[in-house]
C-alpha cells in the first residue's frame, strides 16, 4: 500500500503529470522532492516489519539447548533461538512452582506424620510423663505465630506499595503511549499541510536574507557626514562673504584713508603707499570664495546623488534578493511540498486504517480496566492475608482452636497462589530486563539490515541518509523544538537533502545583484569638484603686509612727536622772536613771555617817548605774535596728525586680528578637500570590501537562512520532541520502574509463600495443643506438683490423646 502511494496509474496520469518535473526543472524538483520522501520515512517502518516477519517465517526451525540470554542482532531473526529462550523462561517458571510443591510435600508429610502419631502427635515430651501438653506449651508456637504474622504483615504492605507503583507506571505508559500515537497521527496530518506552511513561511526566509544587505546601510552614515561637512563649509563661506569680509573691507578702507592723510604731509617720511601697502583683499578673497562655493555646491550635489544612488541600490538589491529567493523557493520547494499533500492523505488513511483513534481509545479503556481489576484483586489478596491471621490471634486469646485450624487450612491454600504469582512475575522480570538490555541494539541491527535498503529506496537516492541505527539514536534523543529532519540528519541537513544546487543558483543571482554596489564613478566626480574648488589657493593671511606697513610707519610716528619743521615752524625762530621783544623793552625794566606777550603796549609810556624804541617794540612784538600764531597752528595740525596716526595704528592692529580670524575660519575649509578626498576614497574602499566580504560568506548566509526557514516550516508539523520524551519515559518507567517492581513483588510473593508454609506448620501444632487444653480444661499445677488427669484420679485408664 505504501508503494502504491508513490505509484502512478494510467487512470491518474493527469495527477502524475503535475507531479513529474519537466526536464528543465528536473534537478531542482528532484532535490526538493527528496525532502518530501524523507518526511514519510517513519511510515516505512510498517514495511520493515513486514519484511522482517516474512524473513523470520521463511527460516527453517532449529531448536537446541535452552539459552539464558535473549536473542539479539542476527539471532533475533532465528525463531529457534526465541524458542530456546522461551524454554529457559518456562524452566524458571517450573522451578518456582516446584519449590512451592516441595513445601507442600513437606507440610503434607508433616501433617500425615502427626496423624500417625509421629512428630509429637500424642507422645509425651518426656519419657514416663502421662500428660503431653501443658498450658505453657502454647507459648512458643504462639510467639512464632505472632512473629510470622508481623513478618507477613510487613511483606504484604511492601507488596501493596510496589504493586501500586507498578500500577502507576502502567498508567503512565498507557498515557504516554496514547499521547505518542496521537502525536504520530498529528505529525502525519501536519505533513499534509506542510506545503501551505512552506508558502506561508517564505517571509521568514526572506527576512533571513535581510542581513545580507542591511549592513550596507551603515555605509550611508559617512556619506551623510560628508554632505553635512560640505554644506557647513558652504555656509561658512557665505558667512565670510556676506558678513565677515565686508567688515574687513571697511577696516581696510579706513586704514587706507589714514595712510592717505599721512602721505599728503611732505614733512613725514617713509609713509607707505595707501594703494599698495594693503593688498586688494576684496578682489582675491571674494572671487576665491565665490569660486569655492560654486565648486563645493557641485561636489555636495554629487555626494548627495551618490547617497541616493547607494540607497536605491541597497533597496534594489534587497528586492532582487527577495524576488530571487521567493521565486526559487515558491517554484521548487513549495510546489513540491504542495504536490505531496495527496500522497500524505493516503498515508493518513493507512494510519487510520491500522491504528484508528477508536481502537486506541478501546485499548486504553481495556488496559485501565484490567489494571483496575488487577490492583483491586492484589489489594484484596494482600488484605486477605493480613486479616487471615487475625483469626489465629482471636483463637489464641479466646482459646478457640477451630479458628486456628481454619486459618492453617486457608494458609495452606493461599500459599500456593503466591508461589504461582512468583512463578509468573520473576520470568516476566527476566524477559523485560533482557528486552531493555538487548532490544535497542537489536532494533538498530535489524534496522540497518532490513530498513536501510527500504528507506534509501523510498528516498530515490536523492537524500543522503545515515544508517537506520544512527537515525534511531538521533530521533530517540530528540528534544522539544527539534524536527525529524534536524534530529535525523543533523544540523547540516541541507547537504543531506541535496539542496546545494539550489543554493548555488540563488548565490549566483544574489552575487550579480551585489555587483551593482559600485560608486567609483560618483566618487571620482565628487573628488574632481571638491579639488576644483581651489580652497587652498584663497589667501586669507595678510598680516605680513600689515606688519610691514606698521614698520614703515614707525619713522613717521616718531616725527609726529615734535612740531619742528612742520609748516616752516622752527623752535629757534620761535625763541628768538620772544628774546627780541625782551631786548627791546628791557631798558624799561619789562619782561614778557608768549603767555603775556599780548599785554605789551608799545604805544604807551614810557616806550612811546622814544620813537625809535617804539618802532622797534612794535616790530619785535609783531614778529613774536606771528611766531606764536605759527606755533599754535602747527601744533593743532600735528595733534590732528597724531590722532590720525593713532587711528591708523589701531586700524592696522584690527586688520591683523581680522586676518588672523579669517585664517582660523578658513583653516578647516582649506583642509576640506584633502579630508573629503580621503573620506571618498575610504567610502569606495569600504563598499568594495563589503561586497567582497558579503560574496565570500554568501553561501553560508544562504544556508543559514534556508536552515532557519526549513526549521520554521517543520517546527510544528515535524516536531519530534515527543519521541525523545517517550523514549526517556519508557526507559525510566519500564526499564527502571516496572522491571524492578516486578522483581520485588515476585520475590515478596515467594517470601509470603514460604512464610505461609512455615505458618501452616506452626498453626497445625498450635491448633492441636490448643484443642487439647480447651477440651480438658487443664491448668498449670502448683509449684513442685504434677498435673493429674481426672481419669487417673478416679483410677481409670489414661485417655487416648491422639486427636
741-780: pLDDT as tens digits: 778 888 888 888 888 888 878 877 777 777 766 665 544 4
Distance CA 19, CA 348 (A): 19
- Say which residue the cell 565570500 belongs to: 696
Residue 554 domain flag: yes
Backbone torsions φ then ψ of 483, nearest 5 degrees: -105, 170
DSSP states of 563-600 as a string? -TTGGG--HHHHHHHHHHHHHHHGGGT----TTTGGG-
- Domain of residue 606: give its range: 1-71+194-360+429-739
Residue 86 domain flag: no
Residue 188 domain flag: no
CB–CB of 94/413 below 8 Å? no
Distance CA 279, CA 272 (A): 12
Residues near 654 by Cβ (< 8 Å), separated by ≥ 6?
251
Q: Which of 142-151, 643-652, 670-679, 713-722 has the lowest mean pLDDT?
A: 713-722
User: What is the predicted pLDDT for the residue at 192?
Assistant: 63
pLDDT of 1 strictly over 70: no
- Say which residue the cell 484483586 belongs to: 377
User: What is the predicted pLDDT for the residue at 239?
Assistant: 83
Q: What is the 3-state secondary structure (H, E, C) of 395-428?
A: HHHHCCHHHHHHHHHHHHHHHHHHHHHHHHHHHH
User: What is the predicted pLDDT for the residue at 13?
Assistant: 36
User: Tell me: the pLDDT tens digits for 181-221?
Assistant: 777 767 666 666 666 677 777 776 777 666 767 777 777 77
Residue 133 domain flag: no
Distance CA 474, CA 453 (A): 19
Distance CA 209, CA 318 (A): 8
- Radius of gyration, CA atoms only, the chain: 63
Average pLDDT over residues 87-109: 80
pTM for this predicted structure: 0.52
User: What is the predicted pLDDT for the residue at 791?
Assistant: 41
User: What is the predicted pLDDT for the residue at 454?
Assistant: 60
Distance CA 168, CA 402 (A): 41
Cell of 244: 565677515
Distance CA 356, CA 185 (A): 9
User: Tell me: the pLDDT tens digits for 517-529?
Assistant: 677 777 788 778 7
Half-sphere exposure of 325 (CA within 13 A, CB side): 28
Nearest residue to 270 (alpha-carbon basis) of 558, 654, 542: 558
Start-end of H helices in 20-68: 26-39, 44-57
Average pLDDT over residues 573-583: 89
Residue 756 domain flag: no
Q: How many domains does the chain have?
A: 1
Cell of 179: 499521547
Residue 512 domain flag: yes
CB–CB of 188/349 below 8 Å? no
Nearest residue to 483 (alpha-carbon basis) of 727, 177, 724, 705: 724
User: What is the predicted pLDDT for the residue at 623?
Assistant: 92
Distance CA 607, CA 620 (A): 13
User: What is the predicted pLDDT for the residue at 2?
Assistant: 33
| CA-to-CA separations, 185 to 203, 350, 727, in angstroms, rounded | 28, 11, 17
pLDDT of 124 strictly over 50: no
Q: Where is pLDDT greater, at 28 or 172?
A: 172
Average pLDDT over residues 260-272: 79
Strands (E), 582-728: none
Residues 635-638: contacts with CB under 8 Å, at least 24 apart:
635/563, 637/566, 637/567, 638/560, 638/563, 638/566
Q: Where is pLDDT greater, at 55 or 417?
A: 417
Nearest residue to 484 (alpha-carbon basis) of 25, 40, 3, 18: 40
pLDDT of 53 strictly over 50: no
User: What is the predicted pLDDT for the residue at 118?
Assistant: 56
User: What is the predicted pLDDT for the residue at 41?
Assistant: 44
DSSP states of 308-363 as a string? HHHHHHHHHHHHHHHHHHHHHIIIIIIHHHHHTHHHHHHHHHHHHHHS-HHHHHHH
Residue 748 domain flag: no
pLDDT of 337 strictly over 60: no
pLDDT of 784 strictly over 70: no
User: What is the predicted pLDDT for the residue at 354?
Assistant: 60
| CA-to-CA separations, 73 to 306, 446, 448, in angstroms, rounded | 71, 7, 10
User: What is the predicted pLDDT for the residue at 726?
Assistant: 72
User: What is the predicted pLDDT for the residue at 774?
Assistant: 67
CB–CB of 749/422 below 8 Å? yes
| Bridge partners, residue 483, by sequence | 719
User: What is the predicted pLDDT for the residue at 459?
Assistant: 52
Nearest residue to 256 (alpha-carbon basis) of 545, 475, 525: 545
Distance CA 581, CA 230 (A): 80
CA of residue 411 relative to chain centroid, distance: 67
Answer whether the bond into residue 52 is a cis peptide, omega within 30°: no
Distance CA 362, CA 368 (A): 10
CB–CB of 681/565 below 8 Å? no
| CA-to-CA separations, 612 to 46, 508, 607, in angstroms, rounded | 166, 130, 9
Let me know how many helices (H) and strands (E) the chain has, helices first. 30, 0
Amino acid at each position: 500500500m505504501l508503494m502504491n502511494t508513490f505509484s502512478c496509474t494510467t487512470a491518474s496520469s493527469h495527477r502524475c503529470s503535475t507531479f513529474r518535473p519537466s526536464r528543465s526543472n528536473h534537478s531542482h524538483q528532484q532535490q526538493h522532492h527528496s525532502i518530501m520522501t524523507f518526511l514519510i520515512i517513519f511510515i516505512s517502518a510498517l514495511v520493515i516489519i513486514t519484511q522482517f516477519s516474512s524473513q523470520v517465517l521463511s527460516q527453517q526451525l532449529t531448536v537446541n539447548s535452552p539459552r539464558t540470554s535473549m536473542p539479539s542482532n542476527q539471532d533475533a531473526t532465528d525463531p529457534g533461538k526465541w524458542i530456546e529462550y522461551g524454554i529457559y523462561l518456562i524452566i524458571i517458571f517450573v522451578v518456582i512452582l516446584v519449590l512451592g510443591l516441595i513445601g507442600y510435600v513437606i507440610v503434607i508429610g508433616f501433617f500425615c506424620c502427626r496423624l500417625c502419631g509421629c512428630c509429637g502427635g500424642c507422645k509425651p515430651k518426656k519419657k514416663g510423663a502421662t500428660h503431653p501438653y501443658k498450658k505453657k506449651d502454647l507459648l512458643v508456637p504462639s510467639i512464632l505465630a505472632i512473629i510470622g504474622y508481623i513478618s507477613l504483615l510487613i511483606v504484604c504492605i511492601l507488596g501493596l506499595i510496589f504493586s501500586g507503583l507498578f500500577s502507576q507506571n502502567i498508567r503512565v505508559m498507557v498515557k504516554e503511549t496514547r499521547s505518542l500515537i496521537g502525536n504520530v497521527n498529528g505529525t502525519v496530518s501536519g505533513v499534509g499541510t506542510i506545503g501551505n506552511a512552506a508558502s506561508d513561511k517564505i517571509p521568514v526566509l526572506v527576512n533571513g536574507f535581510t542581513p545580507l544587505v542591511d549592513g550596507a546601510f551603515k555605509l550611508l552614515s559617512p556619506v551623510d557626514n560628508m554632505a553635512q561637512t560640505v554644506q557647513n563649509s558652504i555656509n561658512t563661506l557665505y558667512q565670510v562673504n556676506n558678513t565677515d569680509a565686508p567688515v574687513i573691507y571697511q577696516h581696510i578702507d579706513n586704514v587706507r584713508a589714514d595712510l592717505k592723510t599721512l602721505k599728503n604731509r611732505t614733512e613725514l617720511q617713509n609713509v607707505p603707499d595707501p594703494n599698495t601697502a594693503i593688498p586688494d583683499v576684496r578682489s582675491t578673497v571674494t572671487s576665491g570664495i565665490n569660486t569655492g562655493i560654486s565648486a563645493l555646491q557641485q561636489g555636495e550635489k554629487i555626494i548627495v546623488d551618490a547617497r541616493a544612488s547607494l540607497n536605491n541600490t541597497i533597496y534594489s538589491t534587497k528586492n532582487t534578493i527577495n524576488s530571487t529567493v521567493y521565486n526559487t523557493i515558491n517554484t521548487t520547494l513549495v510546489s513540491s511540498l504542495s504536490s505531496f499533500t495527496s500522497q500524505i492523505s493516503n498515508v493518513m488513511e493507512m494510519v487510520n486504517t491500522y491504528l484508528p483513534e477508536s481502537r486506541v481509545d478501546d485499548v486504553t479503556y481495556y488496559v485501565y480496566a484490567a489494571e483496575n481489576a488487577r490492583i483491586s484483586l492484589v489489594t484484596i489478596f494482600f488484605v486477605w492475608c493480613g486479616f487471615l491471621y487475625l483469626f489465629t490471634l482471636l483463637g489464641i486469646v479466646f482459646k478457640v482452636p477451630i479458628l486456628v485450624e481454619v486459618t492453617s487450612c486457608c494458609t495452606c491454600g493461599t500459599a500456593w497462589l503466591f508461589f504461582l504469582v512468583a512463578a509468573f512475575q520473576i520470568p516476566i522480570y527476566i524477559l523485560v530486563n533482557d528486552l531493555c538490555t538487548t532490544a535497542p541494539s537489536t532494533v538498530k541491527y535489524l534496522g540497518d539490515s532490513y530498513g536501510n535498503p527500504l528507506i534509501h529506496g523510498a528516498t530515490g537516492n536523492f537524500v543522503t541518509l545515515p544508517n537506520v541505527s544512527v537515525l534511531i539514536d538521533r530521533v530517540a534523543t530528540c528534544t522539544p523544538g527539534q524536527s525529524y529532519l534536524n534530529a535525523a540528519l543533523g544540523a547540516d541537513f541541507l547537504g543531506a537533502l541535496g539542496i546545494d544546487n539550489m543554493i548555488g543558483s540563488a548565490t549566483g543571482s544574489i552575487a550579480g545583484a551585489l555587483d551593482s554596489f559600485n560608486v567609483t564613478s560618483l566618487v571620482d566626480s565628487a573628488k574632481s569638484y571638491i579639488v576644483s574648488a581651489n580652497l587652498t589657493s584663497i589667501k586669507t593671511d595678510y598680516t605680513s603686509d600689515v606688519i610691514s606697513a606698521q614698520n614703515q610707519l614707525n619713522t613717521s610716528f616718531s616725527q609726529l612727536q615734535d612740531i619742528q619743521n612742520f609748516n616752516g615752524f622752527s623752535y629757534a625762530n620761535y625763541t628768538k622772536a620772544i628774546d627780541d621783544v625782551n631786548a627791546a623793552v628791557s631798558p624799561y625794566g619789562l619782561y614778557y613771555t608768549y603767555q603775556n606777550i599780548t599785554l605789551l603796549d608799545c604805544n604807551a609810556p614810557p616806550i612811546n617817548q622814544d620813537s625809535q624804541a617804539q618802532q622797534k617794540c612794535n616790530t619785535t612784538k609783531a614778529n613774536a605774535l606771528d611766531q606764536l600764531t605759527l606755533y599754535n597752528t602747527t601744533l593743532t595740525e600735528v595733534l590732528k596728525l597724531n590722532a590720525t596716526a593713532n587711528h591708523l595704528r589701531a586700524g592696522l592692529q584690527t586688520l591683523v586680528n581680522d586676518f588672523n580670524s579669517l585664517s582660523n575660519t578658513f583653516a578647516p575649509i582649506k583642509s576640506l578637500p584633502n579630508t573629503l578626498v580621503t573620506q571618498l576614497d575610504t567610502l569606495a574602499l569600504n563598499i568594495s570590501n563589503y561586497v567582497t566580504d558579503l560574496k565570500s560568506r554568501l553561501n553560508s548566509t544562504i544556508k543559514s537562512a534556508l536552515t532557519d526557514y526549513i526549521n520554521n516550516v517543520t517546527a510544528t508539523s515535524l516536531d519530534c520532541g515527543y519521541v525523545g520524551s517517550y523514549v526517556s519515559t519508557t526507559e525510566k518507567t519500564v526499564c527502571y520502574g516496572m522491571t524492578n517492581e516486578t522483581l520485588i513483588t515476585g520475590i515478596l510473593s515467594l517470601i509470603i509463600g514460604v512464610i505461609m508454609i512455615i505458618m501452616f506448620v506452626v498453626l497445625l501444632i498450635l491448633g492441636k495443643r490448643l484443642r487439647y487444653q480447651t477440651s480438658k480444661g487443664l491448668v498449670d499445677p502448683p509449684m513442685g506438683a504434677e498435673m493429674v488427669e481426672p481419669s487417673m484420679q478416679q483410677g481409670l485408664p489414661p485417655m487416648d490423646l491422639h486427636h
